[in-house]
C-alpha cells in the first residue's frame, strides 16, 4: 500500500490529537442532551470508533450507508440510500459523523432526509473538509477536523476503490494509481 502514497498528509498522532479535541468539544456541547451519533458508512467508521471513545457523556450510535461515487474518484451526483437507520430519530440530538466533506452533495441529501424525521437537533461532524470542491454551499459542518487540499486522500477509513481504508494515517494517493485504471 505504501508505494501508492505520495505523502503522508496527517499522521496518526495528528489524527489522535484532533479526535481528542473534537470529543472534548462534543462532550461539552451535548451534556444533558440525547446524543445519537450517526456514522455514514463506510468511510467514517475508523473516525467514528475513535471519536465515540473520546466522548465522555452517554450517547447512542447508528449507521447509514449512502453511495454517490461508484468506485471512482469523482462524485457522480447520484445519491442512493443503501442502508437506513435502525431506529427513529424524533427527539434525538443527531450528530452525523462523516469522513470528508467534498462536494457536499452526499451530506446535503442526507441532511434533508434526516431533518424531515424531526430530530431535536441535527449537526455535522466531519474529520476532513475540502472546501475547494464544494458544490452544495448550504452544507456546514459544526465540527470539522482538518481542511485538506484538493487532492484525493486515503487512509483512516477513506478508500480508493475500497482499498487503503486500513492505513492508520491519511495520505495523498499518487495520481497514477487512479489515472492508470
Ligand atoms: P461529497 O458528496 O462529494 O461531499 O462526497 C462525500 C464522500 O465522497 C465522502 O464520504 C467520501 O466517501 C468520498 N470522498 C470524497 N473525497 C474523497 C477523497 O479525497 N478520498 C476518499 N474519499 C473521498
Ligand atoms: Mg464515503
Residues in a beta bridge with 121: 93
Q: What does the alpha-carbon distance between residue 19 and residue 8 come to, in Å, rounded to a whole number?
A: 18
Average pLDDT over residues 44-53: 98
Expressed in angstroms and rounded, the spacing between residue 29 Cα and the centre of ligand 2 is 26
pLDDT of residue 79: 79
The chain-wide mean pLDDT, for the chain, equals 93
Average pLDDT over residues 34-58: 97
CATH number for the domain whose boundaries are 15-149: 3.40.50.2020
Question: Residue 65: pLDDT above 90?
Answer: yes
pLDDT of residue 77: 62
pTM, to two decimals: 0.93
Q: What is the pLDDT of residues 134-143, one digit of tens each?
A: 999 999 999 9
SS3 of the chain: CHHHEEEEEECHHHHHHHHHHHHHHHHHHCCCCCEEEEEEECCCHHHHHHHHHCCCCCCEEEEEEEECCCCCCCCCCCCEEEECCCCCCCCCEEEEEEEEECCCHHHHHHHHHHHCCCCCEEEEEEEEECHHHCCCCCCCCCEEEEECCCCCEEECCECECCECCCCCCEEEECHHHHHCC
Q: What does the alpha-carbon distance between residue 103 and residue 106 come to, in Å, rounded to a whole number?
A: 8
With a 6 A CB cut-off, is 158 part of the ligand 1 pocket?
yes
Q: What residues are annotated to the active site?
A: 102
Domain extents in the chain = 15-149
Of all protein residues, the one whose alpha carbon is nearest to atom 19 of ligand 1 is 152
Average pLDDT over residues 149-171: 96
Non-local (6+) Cβ contacts of 87 within 8 A are 62
Residues with CB under 5 A from ligand 2 (ion): 43
pLDDT of residue 48: 98
Q: What is the pLDDT of residues 71-130, one digit of tens each?
A: 555 655 667 899 999 999 999 999 999 999 999 999 999 999 999 999 999 999 999 999
Question: Residue 69: pLDDT above 90?
Answer: no
Amino acid at each position: 500500500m505504501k508505494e501508492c502514497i505520495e505523502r503522508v498528509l496527517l499522521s496518526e498522532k495528528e489524527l489522535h490529537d484532533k479526535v481528542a479535541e473534537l470529543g472534548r468539544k462534543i462532550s461539552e456541547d451535548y451534556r444533558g442532551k440525547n446524543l445519537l451519533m450517526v456514522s455514514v458508512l463506510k468511510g467514517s467508521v475508523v473516525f467514528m470508533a475513535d471519536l465515540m471513545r473520546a466522548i465522555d457523556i452517554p450517547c447512542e450510535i447508528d449507521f447509514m450507508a449512502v453511495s454517490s461515487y461508484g468506485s471512482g474518484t469523482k462524485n457522480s451526483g447520484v445519491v442512493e440510500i443503501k442502508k437506513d437507520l435502525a431506529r427513529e430519530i424524533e427527539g434525538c440530538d443527531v450528530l452525523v459523523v462523516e469522513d470528508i466533506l467534498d462536494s457536499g452533495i452526499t451530506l446535503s441529501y442526507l441532511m434533508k432526509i434526516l431533518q424531515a424525521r424531526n430530530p431535536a437537533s441535527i449537526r455535522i461532524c466531519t474529520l476532513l473538509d475540502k472546501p475547494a470542491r464544494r458544490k452544495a454551499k448550504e452544507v456546514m459542518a459544526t465540527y470539522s477536523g482538518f481542511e485538506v487540499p484538493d487532492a484525493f486522500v486515503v487512509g483512516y477509513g477513506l478508500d480508493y476503490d475500497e482499498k487503503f481504508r486500513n492505513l492508520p494515517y491519511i495520505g495523498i494517493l499518487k495520481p497514477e494509481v487512479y489515472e492508470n485504471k
